[in-house]
Chains A and B, each alone.
Chain A
Amino acid sequence: DQQVKQNSPSLSVQEGRISILNCDYTNSMFDYFLWYKKYPAEGPTFLISISSIKDKNEDGRFTVFLNKSAKHLSLHIVPSQPGDSAVYFCAALDAGKSTFGDGTTLTVKP
């Protein structure tokens, strides 16, 4: 049973528009959530996080929303830039141990 799911394997948006990446989870014990970005031939890099006691966290163009009742997490990128093209992983932590989604490949077209 996959506890963290990213149901969209890919997403394509136009430069300047909003990118919305989604993540669903099943384990109600998850208490911290993170998004990572990964470029080809590089390791994942931390992007933004949110604690389960919050419903929104913002950092520049990146905003993460958490809906605990729906067990749903989303990452908004506004405005999207071609350099944002990468694979995005969501991760959920339970007592410090993480579970990753399969990733969503974002392509931002100029």
Chain B
Amino acid sequence: NAGVTQTPKFRVLKTGQSMTLLCAQDMNHEYMYWYRQDPGMGLRLIHYSVGEGTTAKGEVPDGYNVSRLKKQNFLLGLESAAPSQTSVYFCASSTSYGYTFGSGTRLTVV
């Protein structure tokens, strides 16, 4: 089915470890986003991309890096994980008037 695919779905990291979350979309959307969602809070934008080779900071970018080497992929990296980065991460892609979300990655940093 067409849509947004996130891998992995779950991950437990130790403080200081690094990891990369992968997001892939097959809808040829230009825009892609990484959000985090914490209990009682809405979706907060970490980084986004308006096209292949571009990235920009969102609302809460600190501690994260991203890359958009191919139009269909948007990678979110944590260089040195911290407990404050325990969250559910959602990737999305969009046209101008609607978003399609992935099913999320639940990350726990211990």
Contact = CB atoms under 8 A, between A and B. Distances in A.
Main secondary structure of the interface of B (DSSP, over half): strand
A110 interface: no
Interface in A9-41: 9, 32, 34, 36, 41
Name the interface size band of chain A: 20 to 34
Binding site secondary structure of chain A: strand
Interface of B: 4, 6, 31, 40-43, 90, 92, 94, 96-104, 106
26 contacts: A4-B42, A6-B42, A34-B97, A34-B99, A36-B99, A36-B101, A41-B106, A42-B104, A43-B6, A43-B92, A43-B101, A43-B102, A43-B103, A44-B99, A44-B101, A45-B101, A46-B99, A46-B100, A49-B97, A49-B98, A89-B42, A96-B94, A96-B96, A96-B97, A101-B42, A103-B42
